[in-house]
Amino acid sequence: MLALIAGSCNASVAPPVEPNLGIVPAPANVERLGGYFLLNKATVIEASGYDAIHCATLLNDYLGKAYGITLQVKNESSIPPRAHVIRFDLRANTSPPEGYSLQSSHNGVTIVSNDGAGLFYGLQSLMQMTDAAFKPPVQGVPIQVELPCANIQDAPRFPYRGLHLDCGRHFFPVAFIKTYLDLMARYKLNTFHWHLTEDQGWRIEIKRYPLLTSVGSIRSQTVTGHEGGSNQYDGKSYGGFYTQDEIRDIVEYARLRYITVIPEIEMPGHSLAALTAYPYLGCTGGPYAVATHWGVFPDVFCPSGDSTFAFLENVLTELMQLFPSHYIHIGGDECPKIRWEHDPRDIALMKSLGDTSADQLQSYFIGRIEKFLNDHGRDIIGWDEILEGGLAPNATVMSWRGEAGGIAAVKLHHKVIMTPGNWLYFDRGQGIPANEPLNIGGYLPLSKVYSYDPVPAVLPDSEKQYILGAQANVWSEYMASPEKAEYMILPRMLALAEIDWTPLEKKDYGDFLARLPAQLSWMDQQGYFFRIPEPLGLSDSLTTQDRILVKLTPPLPGTRMYYSLDSAATVSSTLYTSPVLLTLQANRPDTLHVVEVSPAGNTSVDYHAVFMRKEVLKPKPGARPATGLNLKGHRDTIRVSLKRHRVHPGPDGKELAKVNSLGMAGKIRPLQPT
């Protein structure tokens, strides 16, 4: 049985404390006090009322799984004198919305908030403090968790802190959706944007229209790899959908974690699955087929017939019975107008409305759906294409094609959620493309995600209020399993959390990186499939010397590293135990490959870096050094481009990025000691 001992603050024996107490996202204000508090089995949880008792239950669940103990939960009147207490105190007018204060002292911990969400977020901070303060036990000494004495005052920067998941292209089981919500809750994200319909599959049961799931949820096969001139398919039928009972279960699971679930039903584009089930909804009448590859398709909902809107209103009516969220996401993106421009009924509708373009017809479509939802007490969110042809009156815009759409919406005094692809599309690769598993393309490292500020610098102070927050999007074209989805969001999701929660002036990437290993260790222990960052010291290098000593440091304590030269590394390669000495030949690149294995057995992809010796000819007496090269002090920069890695095109057919494997400025280094 685990033994946890109660003690008093004693600064002389306090354990090392992580920056910001190890908490992600970093709190608004942390005051570290001297000493520590030790829990024991006699520690009591004080809680009264639904929200406090709920937090007490979650704390006991955590302590039981992590340390094997369960604490008694009592109200204030039944707590014995001099007891060491963890208090959850719901008290009016004590904090901003979702904010909390946490005070830990030698007597215990007190979390105070104005609302249940604040208590819950204080609990998340307490659990992360416990994770960061835990020390491995010494033989013969009881395990103990030494919580630092501290005072935290905390509240989120933004009210909307979102993470998206596309279940249309690939279906994810209920168990994984709950895992996703657990991760969001730990890092104080409060909105789950659930993308439920696509050209490649309809994923939500609508009882009035059973063909949506019996037909529209199933595609005949799926494209493999990246699309190109000769697509390859797996030849396997693929499908899946959520029953209404499963959706109710997930919505309730999210509510208990103070997460709002916003469903998305795509319209008027990305609707092939629905058209396949009910062909009368399209302009041509079909036949249609659920899409087997990715991209944008010309067949979309037809706006000229009342039958289309009757169908969508019936779908939305059932949807609203399942999702209590104030917002309903209706998509509105990537809708080709070619069918509308050639359909006599749609042309007649445009003329009757006085419209001169199909973009205006899309505005009519969105506005009609918005009015229906407004009449039922709901508001819409749409991608920034809903700006085309004029924005619906009460719509909130999700700006994904950069920030321009969001800025334009703010100028019209519409609320905006920032989700620009260059910073917040987690389907993009996390490292140099040549080192990454199959993904949609592009390069979005952790550092770039962290650098993002959802409030564009061009906005005056009077308009910043319209920015509700930021959301990362997880499109699943190349994520066929929960493990791949976890890999793509972790650890970038932690950077997103800090973007949304931590005050801008408090953000510090170096401090964030110092807190990251403890979070990765927790993920490793919990069995998540996160991306293990590259080893420190593994980077492309250009030198004038014939030998270079490569010293590698694992990003996660306890990680084993295996390396090889000029071929992919595996767990059967050489175990890294000391710096690797490379002997280089002039103008011939050598590649060092490394694979990492975490303490729990999570294995990284094959990382590699290119090393090359640049031959420098000695200039004739009185001649100038070679252009771009100054050997003085071996510090100046020369530029080299050994090779380029061209990433695959995105869904719009345009190249997203080009990344140099060794196309950056290289440093001329002196010979390292051997």
Tens of pLDDT, residue by residue over 201-213, are: 999 999 999 999 9
**pLDDT number for residue 38:** 83
Indicate whether 536 belongs to any domain.
no
**pLDDT number for residue 30:** 96
Residue 4 DSSP symbol: -
Indicate whether 430 belongs to any domain.
yes
pLDDT at 619 over 80: no
Q: 230 and 374: one domain?
A: yes
H-assigned helices in 203-335: 211-214, 244-255, 272-277, 306-322
Q: How many CA atoms lie within 13 A of 503 on its CB side?
A: 10
Final residue of a domain: which of 96, 121, 154? 154
Q: Rounded distance, CA 187 to CA 528, Å?
A: 15
Q: Please compute the mean of the pLDDT values over residues 175-195 and round it to a whole number.
A: 98
**Which of 624, 470, 500 minimizes the C-alpha distance to 187?**
500
Q: How many CA atoms lie within 13 A of 381 on its CB side?
A: 27
Question: Per-residue pLDDT tens for 410-429?
Answer: 999 999 999 999 999 999 99
Structure tokens at 382: 């749409």
Instruction: Give the range of the structural domain holding residue 573, as residue numbers without chain letter.
Output: 541-667
Q: 142 and 187: one domain?
A: no
CATH of the domain at 150: 3.30.379.10
pLDDT confidence of 624, banded at 50, 70, 90?
Answer: low
pLDDT confidence of 279, banded at 50, 70, 90?
Answer: very high
Q: Rounded distance, CA 585 to CA 545, Å?
A: 9
CB 670 within 8 A of CB 545: yes
Q: 377 and 254: one domain?
A: yes
pLDDT confidence of 141, banded at 50, 70, 90?
Answer: low
Q: 110 and 205: one domain?
A: no
Final residue of a domain: which of 481, 500, 526? 526
pLDDT at 381 over 80: yes
**pLDDT number for residue 351:** 93
**pLDDT number for residue 9:** 41
Please tell me the least confidently modeled range out of 5-19, 192-206, 540-554, 564-578: 5-19
**pLDDT number for residue 664:** 29
Counted domains in the chain: 3
Size (the chain), residues: 674
Higher-confidence residue of 303 and 230: namely 303
How crowded is residue 359: how many other Cβ atoms within 10 Å of its Cβ?
Answer: 16
**pLDDT number for residue 42:** 80
Indicate whether 333 belongs to any domain.
yes
Indicate whether 444 belongs to any domain.
yes
Q: 507 and 575: one domain?
A: no
Indicate whether 419 belongs to any domain.
yes
Q: 324 and 381: one domain?
A: yes
CB 194 within 8 A of CB 264: yes
CB 396 within 8 A of CB 405: no
Please tell me the least confidently modeled range out of 231-235, 322-326, 603-607, 624-628: 624-628
Residue with tokens 């952790």: 446
Q: Rounded distance, CA 181 to CA 186, Å?
A: 9
DSSP character string of 94-105:
SSSTT-EEEEEE
Question: Per-residue pLDDT tens for 653-665?
Answer: 333 333 333 322 3
Burial class (CB in 10 A: 0-12, 13-18, 19+), 240: middle
How crowded is residue 376: how many other Cβ atoms within 10 Å of its Cβ?
Answer: 12
pLDDT confidence of 666, banded at 50, 70, 90?
Answer: very low
CB 469 within 8 A of CB 497: no
Indicate whether 3 belongs to any domain.
no
Q: 244 and 340: one domain?
A: yes
pLDDT at 507 over 70: yes
**pLDDT number for residue 39:** 77
How crowded is residue 585: how many other Cβ atoms within 10 Å of its Cβ?
Answer: 11
Mean residue pLDDT of the chain comes to 88
Question: Per-residue pLDDT tens for 52-80?
Answer: 999 999 999 999 888 888 899 999 888 88
Please tell me the least confidently modeled range out of 54-58, 60-64, 550-554, 640-644: 640-644
Q: 192 and 108: one domain?
A: no
**pLDDT number for residue 69:** 84
Secondary structure (3-state) at 371: helix
- As a whole number of Å, the CA-based R_g of the chain is 28
In sequence order, what are the residues at sequence separation of 6 or more whose Cβ sits closer than 8 angstroms to the Cβ of residue 367? 392, 393
Q: Rounded distance, CA 39 to CA 31, Å?
A: 21
CATH of the domain at 209: 3.20.20.80
Q: Please compute the mean of the pLDDT values over residues 79-106 and round it to a whole number.
A: 93
Indicate if the alpha-carbon torsion angle 179, 180, 185, 191 is positive or negative.
negative
Final residue of a domain: which of 463, 491, 526? 526
CA angle 186, 190, 195 (to 5 degrees): 110
Please tell me the least confidently modeled range out of 97-101, 106-110, 190-194, 447-451: 106-110
Indicate whether 572 belongs to any domain.
yes
**pLDDT number for residue 103:** 97
CB 363 within 8 A of CB 385: no
Q: 506 and 557: one domain?
A: no
Q: Rounded distance, CA 242 to CA 205, Å?
A: 6
CA angle 190, 69, 148 (to 5 degrees): 65
**pLDDT number for residue 661:** 32
Q: Please compute the mean of the pLDDT values over residues 289-296 and round it to a whole number.
A: 96
DSSP character string of 363-427:
HHHHHHHHHHHHHTT-EEEEEGGGGTTS--TTPEEEE-SSSHHHHHHHHTT--EEE--HHHHBTT
Q: 149 and 183: one domain?
A: no
In which element (H, E) is residue 15 found?
A: none
Percentage, residues of the chain above pLDDT 70: 87
Indicate if the alpha-carbon torsion angle 486, 489, 492, 497 is positive or negative.
negative
Q: 70 and 123: one domain?
A: yes
Indicate whether 532 belongs to any domain.
no
How crowded is residue 242: how many other Cβ atoms within 10 Å of its Cβ?
Answer: 24
**pLDDT number for residue 504:** 97
**Which of 38, 56, 44, 55 minimizes the C-alpha distance to 85?**
44
CATH of the domain at 579: 2.60.40
pLDDT at 580 over 50: yes
Indicate if the alpha-carbon torsion angle 145, 148, 150, 156 is positive or negative.
negative
Higher-confidence residue of 375 and 667: namely 375
- Could you tell me the maximum CA-CA distance found in the chain, to the nearest angstrom? 92
Q: 81 and 195: one domain?
A: no
Secondary structure (3-state) at 191: strand
Question: Per-residue pLDDT tens for 358-373?
Answer: 989 999 999 999 999 9
